[in-house]
Amino acid sequence: MSRVVIIGSGIAGLFAALHLADAGKEVVVITKQRPEDSNTNWAQGGIAGIIDKTDGVGKQSHIDDTLASGDGICDPNVVKIVVEEAGDRIRDLLSIGVNFEKDGADFHLVKEGGHSDRRILHAKDATGKEIERALTESVDSNPLIEMRPHTLAVDLIQTTHGKPSDGIKGIWCLNLDSGIMETIPAAAVLIATGGCGQLWEKTTNPSVATGDGMAMAIRAGANVKDMAFIQFHPTALVVDADRPFLITEALRGEGGVLLDGEGLINYRIDGGSPEPHSFILEFSSQGSLATRDIVARACDQKMKETGAENVWLVTDHLESEALRNEFPNIEERLNRHGLSLGETPLPVAPAAHYMVGGLDVDLNGRVLMSGGNSIPGLYGIGEVACTGMHGANRLASNSLLEAIVFAQRAANHLIANPIVDAEEGPRWRADGMIELKEHVPLVRDLETLKKTMTLDVGIVRRFSRLERAKRMLNLLTKEVDLIWQESLPTRELVELRNLVLVGTVITQDAISREVNVGLHYNIDLI
Active site residues: 292
Residue 444: other Cβ atoms inside 10 A = 11
Three-state SS at 288: helix
End-to-end CA distance of the chain: 56
* Residues 191/8, Cβ–Cβ less than 8 Å: yes
Q: How far apart are CA 498 and CA 87, in angstroms?
A: 36
Long-range contacts of 142-147 (CB under 8 A, 24+ apart): 142/17, 142/18, 142/21, 144/21, 144/24, 144/25, 144/26, 144/27, 145/17, 145/18, 145/21, 145/27, 145/28, 145/29, 146/26, 146/27, 146/28, 146/29, 147/9, 147/29, 147/31, 147/35
Class of residue 48 by CB neighbours under 10 A (exposed 0-12, middle 13-18, buried 19+): buried
Q: How far apart are CA 430 and CA 408, in angstroms?
A: 38
What is the distance of C-alpha 372 from the center of its chain? 24
Q: Which residues, other chains included, contact 400 with Cβ-Cβ below 8 Å and sequence gap of 6+? A: 11, 40, 43, 46, 47, 127, 128, 131
Length of the chain: 526
Residue 207: other Cβ atoms inside 10 A = 13
* Residues 323/348, Cβ–Cβ less than 8 Å: no
Number of H helices, E strands in the chain: 15, 21
Q: How far apart are CA 106 and CA 230, in angstroms?
A: 35
* Residues 160/370, Cβ–Cβ less than 8 Å: no
Long-range contacts of 301-305 (CB under 8 A, 24+ apart): 301/460, 302/260, 303/349
Class of residue 106 by CB neighbours under 10 A (exposed 0-12, middle 13-18, buried 19+): exposed
